Amino acid sequence: MTSATATARTPALASKLPQVGTTIFTVMSALAAEHNAVNLGQGFPDFACDPALVDAVTAAMQAGHNQYPPMTGVPALREAVSAKIEALHGRRYDPASEITITAGATQAIITAILAVVHPGDEVIVLDPCYDSYVPNIELAGGRAVRVPLTPGSFRPDFGKISAAITPHTRAILINSPHNPSATVWSAEDMQALQDLLAPTDILLISDEVYEHMVFDGGQHQSAARFAGLAARAFIVSSFGKTFHVTGWKVGTVAAPAALTAEFRKVHQFNVFTVNTPVQHGLASYLKDPAPYLQLPAFYQAKRDLFREGLAGSRLKLLPSTGSYFQCVDISAVSDLNESDFCQWLTREIGVAAIPLSAFYGDGFDQRVVRFCFAKKDDTLRAALERLRKL
């Protein structure tokens, strides 16, 4: 048979992620666009970042910082991150051996998982959780062990977490401030976790991307604040979330040197390194702490605007103590399940939201949906005008 007569054939492929399809975020964003709805589903801002940050990155490009940086990240940025963690949380990470710059928090999380999870290992995740966690664990050959947060309050249940620990447990993945519930772990929660893990060799992956969005005078309880947690933790942060530049995809991981060494073995082969001029621009921008220190007040004002606008509606507001999300109970508005309600809300009312059931492995439906208020005030007001029809 000659190449001219051979039949082209794409070989059959056994999927590594057979349960994964199109994400709810893609589905709802497409539906929002189709119906010209105000999109409060997607978790990113619709407003610009500080022009000074763009200027800093532009200056870095013009200065010739356009080739590969060090695999671990630009030294000035790693030093700035180390100084920031020490100033905020009182723990010093060595910039050379304990801070790594990543291509966003999502890459940081999968890299940490690939670095430490072996086939057959178990990783505890707390439902509801961000949708990348479980696929990351499965790609590493591990098994996700889902432990539900307490319905309604979304507090960690340490009895259930303890019961889920087995000799195969390699790590636990936590997220505070929490997406999607907008709850924040307390110092007592973190201390309880520290006590629980103390007699074990379980590692901690602490997703802290909303670290600068804690409201009402509260304080972010980073794993870095707790010696027993910091010693076993990969702490993940995101410049994209903090500085309104989610499309730049730059994050950080802080971890003890021994853990960082294993993290970097994977990092150098799945990304190698991260956008050079953006790193230099961020290093320059971080010299002034005001932008991230002012962030709680900035987002609290948006939260308050949104909550006040919904106060007279039949949507029941759940607490929002951190992140840029607001969850509401829809029970008084509709008998539809969460997913169907979000589609109805988009088509008929013109506002897109995300069902909380999408963040649960079993699709648990508690009649709660999530809005994102990281939007211009005019965007929020337009959404509120429509939501008042409910």
Judged against a pLDDT cut of 70, whether residue 18 lies above it is answered with yes
Give the confidence band of 2 by pLDDT, cuts at 50, 70, 90: low
pLDDT in the model for residue 5? 63
pLDDT for 34-60, tens place per residue?
A: 999 999 998 899 999 999 999 999 999
What is the value of pTM for the model shown?
A: 0.96
pLDDT for 286-322, tens place per residue?
A: 999 999 999 999 999 999 999 999 998 999 999 999 9
Task: Please list the residues that pair with 254 across neighbouring strands.
Answer: 99, 235
Give the integer Cα–Cα distance in Å for 33 and 139: 32
pLDDT for 144-179, tens place per residue?
A: 999 999 999 999 999 999 999 999 999 999 999 999
Judged against a pLDDT cut of 60, whether residue 186 lies above it is answered with yes
Q: CA 326 → CA 116, 146, 387, distances in Å?
A: 34, 23, 14
List, in order of start, the domains of the chain with CATH numbers: 24-43+293-387 (3.90.1150.10), 64-287 (3.40.640.10)
Percent of the residues in the chain that have a pLDDT greater than 70, as a whole number = 99
State both tokens at 153: 């309050």
Burial (CB count <10 Å: 0-12, 13-18, 19+), residue 329: middle
Judged against a pLDDT cut of 60, whether residue 1 lies above it is answered with no
Judged against a pLDDT cut of 80, whether residue 333 lies above it is answered with yes
